[in-house]
Structure 1
Amino acid sequence: MKSVNDLARNEGARAASVACLLPARNGGSLRLLAGGPALPFSGSSASEVKTLLNGYDGKLIKLATVEGVDWYGAPSGQGAGAEAMKREVAAAGWRFVQQEGSGYFFVRGAEKIVITSEMWTGRYVLFRIPANTL
């Protein structure tokens, strides 16, 4: 049986079915969508987001605003996305304090924000930024 990692590496070779269920260690099942991993926000399709992210020019790309959160993305290679995010947040007046795991901590006067990141499809990093920060 192929691992989830093997299946993810072969993303270009789409399965004929819409989804498959794989056994998980906890006794449940893991749902793997044929189009790749699900987006962490609603309102856009994976193909729309990939098209937007493929237009990356060194600046973060705004993908959606959902429930008080702006979602931005960038390619994941060599930490360029994280550096672009820190640069753009600093340009908006925020000072980078530290990173803890996927969380980036910023301050501006007495205000504090935490921006979190997550890998999506292994090729892109998505940033969850409080709305109207940038």
Structure 2
Amino acid sequence: MKKWLIIFGGLAVVLGIVAFNSKIYYPPLPIDSVSKNEVINTLNKSPKGILEIAEEDEFEWFITRTEQGKERENLKQMISKKGWQFENQDGSGYFFTKGDNRLIVETEMWTKRYLIVQIPKEWKD
């Protein structure tokens, strides 16, 4: 009986370590080109407030920590550096203009600590 408890306990510890390291407890990312583990580790090592994590389909994907509204200011500041003017926010969408062009940036709360940002690739033009 003790032998089975030791085996079961050891297996549970190993599975717990694997689950923690792979970030399996986080929800799935909306993109396939990077893993949850890569995203979290890169963000934790970076001093930047908002970080590009991938280019997939026709979008650039970013992640930022949610810190008392600073994540939204980081987003607006990053986009305004490319000449876009913030117009308004409607739900999870942010609307910017640059001359006659309009940019719609979509955000998604990935977890309570992280915000995923989706920006069309032409925003840097």
After TM superposition, the score normalised by the length of structure 2 is: 0.76
Within a 5 Å distance, the mapping from 1:1-134 to structure 2 comes to: 34-134=24-124
Contact 2:108–2:116, Cα closer than 8 Å, also in 1: yes
The corresponding residue for 1:24 is: none
Gaps of 5+ in 2: 1-14
* Cα distance in 1 for residues equivalent to 2:61 and 2:81: 18
Query: Identity over the aligned pairs, expressed in percent?
Result: 31
Alpha-carbon distance in structure 2 between the residues aligned to 1:114 and 1:52: 26
Q: Judge conservation of contact 1:35–1:46 (CA < 8 Å) in 2.
A: no
Bigger CA radius of gyration: 2
**Counterpart contact for 1:60–1:73, Cα < 8 Å:** yes
1:131 is displaced (CA, Å) by: 1.0
| 8 Å CA contact retained: 1:73, 1:81 | no
Displacement, 1:81? 1.4
After TM superposition, give the deviation of residue 57 of structure 1 in Å.
2.5
Superposed displacement of residue 42, structure 1: 1.0
Please give the per-residue CA displacement for 1:74-106, whole angstroms capped at 9, x wherever unaligned: 101211111111001011000000000100000
Q: Give, in angstroms, the shift of residue 122 of structure 1.
A: 1.7
Runs (4+) of structure 1 exceeding 2 A deviation are 55-59
Contact kept? 2:59, 2:119, Cα under 8 Å? yes
User: What secondary structure is seen at the aligned counterpart in 2 of 1:54?
Assistant: helix
- In structure 2, the CA distance between the partners of 1:63 and 1:130, relative to structure 1 (3 Å rule), is same
Aligned residues: 107
Normalized per residue, the structure richer in helix is 2
Other structure's SS at 1:133 match: helix
